[in-house]
Amino acid sequence: MLKSGLIEETTYAKYKSEANLILRFIEDVLVHKVTAAMVRKMDQDMLAKGYARETVARAHNALKRYLYEALEKGLIVAVPITRTVKPPRVERKDPNALDDETRKRLLSILDEMPDDQITPAIRLGLGAGLRNEEAIGLKWENVDLDAGMIKIRSVISSAGGKAIEKGPKTAAGRKDIPIDPVLVEKLKTRAKEVFGAENSSDLQGFYVVGDKDGVFLRPAELTRAFRRLAREHDIYGTNGELATFYSLRHTYATMLLRAGVDAKTVASLMGHSSVAMTLNVYASTDPQARAAAGAIVANLMSQR
């Protein structure tokens, strides 16, 4: 299926990883002999081994999907995963965004740092809400510095231990995002000083978060580099946890919603498939927004 082009390489790698994990915990039996007890034991053993509840739930649901495929092909007469055989409950965590003070402090830190491959990636995460793979997959031909706009048309993902370039996973992932004047100037300077180009249009095929030889930064490198920076400068999010690169995206969304940008626009900029997703994740989790709402209610209720 991979060679035929029916599924992408990253999807194939995901399926293979799921299957390998399942096979480490399910007995070596024929598919029609898999029982509900085996599935329950798989979940329990994974949790006992220290796997995250999200990982166990994904493996559970993947096995369920494989068993339904076996049922459709006539390999089994019934799926042993019934309503009573449920994956572990995954507790929803609030986004670990940066508060205003920490966001401003991070920007000050970036201003003092040399312009390497990490600093523009962080600025793109914080000022445009880009995911790790979107920031490193951004090409100069998709940057319009005159209009102050970037276009997400390619991402760099990990698959089977290697990094590959591909298009966004969904139609919503193809998005045009306005960027602030400071970021525009930073990118103009990078294009000139690092790549020797006066205009970003002269850099066809080169990556913004890459080197002058056209090589992109690998996803794991950006993740590790930001983690080191966060530890060195005590960059923690609103959950009290050390910030990750994804915290920058959370910060971007909460910042827009708090400023009064409508949820539909925020959903579009984030690449969410629905406004409901944006509201479910962000609208009720920002402590500053909750405090402001409380002040408004107090003011209204005091009026007589």
Long-range contacts of the stretch 246-249 (C-beta < 8 A, 24+): 246/96, 246/131, 246/132, 247/95, 247/96, 247/97, 247/98, 248/98, 248/122, 248/125, 248/126, 248/129, 249/125, 249/129, 249/130, 249/131
The whole-angstrom separation of Cα 191 and Cα 147 is 16
Q: 162-166 and 155-159: which strand pairing?
A: antiparallel
Q: Shortest CA distance to 114 belongs to which of 215, 185, 196, 186?
A: 186
Question: Please, are residues 10 and 166 in contact by the beta-carbon 8 Å criterion?
Answer: yes
The whole-angstrom separation of Cα 72 and Cα 268 is 37
42 burial via Cβ count (<10 Å: 0-12, 13-18, 19+): buried
Tokens of 110: 């970036």
* Residue 163: DSSP 8-state: E
- H or E segment at 106? helix 100-112
Residue-level pLDDT, tens digit, the chain, 304 residues: 455 455 677 778 888 888 999 999 987 888 888 999 999 999 999 999 999 999 999 999 999 999 999 999 998 999 988 888 999 988 777 889 999 999 999 999 999 998 889 999 999 999 999 999 999 999 999 999 999 999 999 999 887 778 888 888 888 889 999 999 999 999 999 999 999 988 888 899 999 999 999 999 999 999 999 999 999 999 999 999 999 999 999 999 998 988 888 889 999 999 988 888 888 887 655 566 555 544 554 565 566 5
- H or E segment at 162? strand 162-166
Question: Please, are residues 221 and 210 in contact by the beta-carbon 8 Å criterion?
Answer: no
Residue listed under structure tokens 């920031």: 135
Question: In 3-state terms, the chain is what percent helix, strand and coil (to 5)?
Answer: 55, 10, 35
Output the furthest CA–CA distance in the chain (Å, rounded).
Answer: 74
Q: Shortest CA distance to 85 belongs to which of 106, 100, 70, 63?
A: 63
Q: Shortest CA distance to 175 belongs to which of 128, 120, 222, 217?
A: 128
| Contacts with 273 (C-beta within 8 Å, 6 or more apart), sequence order | 170, 172
Give the model's pLDDT for residue 178.
94
3-state secondary structure of 242: strand
The whole-angstrom separation of Cα 194 and Cα 200 is 12
Q: Shortest CA distance to 230 belongs to which of 105, 116, 133, 132?
A: 105
Question: Please, are residues 250 and 95 in contact by the beta-carbon 8 Å criterion?
Answer: yes
